[in-house]
Amino acid sequence: MPLRVALAQLAVTREIPINVEALRRAIDFAKRQKADILLTPEGSLSGYTHQFDAGAARDALQEITALARERQVGLALGTCFFEADNKCYNQLRFYLPDGTYLGFHSKILRCGDFSTPPRGEIEHYAAAPLGTFQFLDVKVGGLICNDLWANPACTPVPDPHLTQQLSQLGAQLILHAVHGGRDGSPWAREVIWPFHEANLRMRARVGRLWVATVDSSHPTHLPCSAPSGIIDPEGNWAARIADQGEQFLCHDVELR
């Protein structure tokens, strides 16, 4: 049977209550579409920041996961979160439709500059080892933004080819949460967007993987930094989302 994947391209803000309302709309969409799993952008609960209210994020996480459990929708939920070790992780958290928590992928290729030591988000977020998750009958992997394309402008470490590593671990589908910067400039549209799209398609093809990817649409008056949609193992788009504003998509992923 196919895995029915829903994507929510949301305007991720630093206001947790606003993010929660957007996530509620996304879960309701996924329920109506009878999706097995919903993918949301990087930081879609907490905001893409290490400076968030940890208590409010915990309460919001409980609210959103309870709603998804009630609606019988699995989650690949993007959020920043403080774990029991008191470290902050930029995460993609995985839940089955019955609410069972499978664990999290934390962003590995955290952005930073080329000073010694590097400065940037690499200072603020911890990382955990790469792994896969058994979602129903499918082995899936999670990646966050730069994990996939290893942008040389903001990655002070060598490219570890995480898509290939996940393929070798047996993953059939990668769920990729994005929150890319954008300014509406020609450089953003002529260089950054094609770089992101080419990497998505090339790495899906090389790894013989399905890739579901979704960006934040904030600010909504500008196009996203990267395309949202689903790419098949040949590197072709199976489904696409319009590149601006809040958008939803549901698609059946036919797994081998």
C-alpha triplet 130, 161, 83: angle, nearest 5°: 25
Q: Give me the domains of the chain, ranges plus CATH numbers.
A: 3-253 (3.60.110.10)
| Assigned token pair, 202 | 């090339």
pLDDT higher than threshold 90 for residue 63: yes
- Report the pLDDT value the prediction gives residue 118, as an integer from 0 to 100: 87
Question: 111-115, 140-144, 166-170: which has the minimum mean pLDDT?
Answer: 111-115
Is the whole model's pTM more than 0.85, yes or no?
Answer: yes
* Type and span of the H or E element at 33: none
- Report the pLDDT value the prediction gives residue 256, as an integer from 0 to 100: 74
128-139: per-residue pLDDT in tens?
999 999 999 999
95-116: per-residue pLDDT in tens?
999 999 999 999 999 999 888 8
Region 168-180 average pLDDT: 97
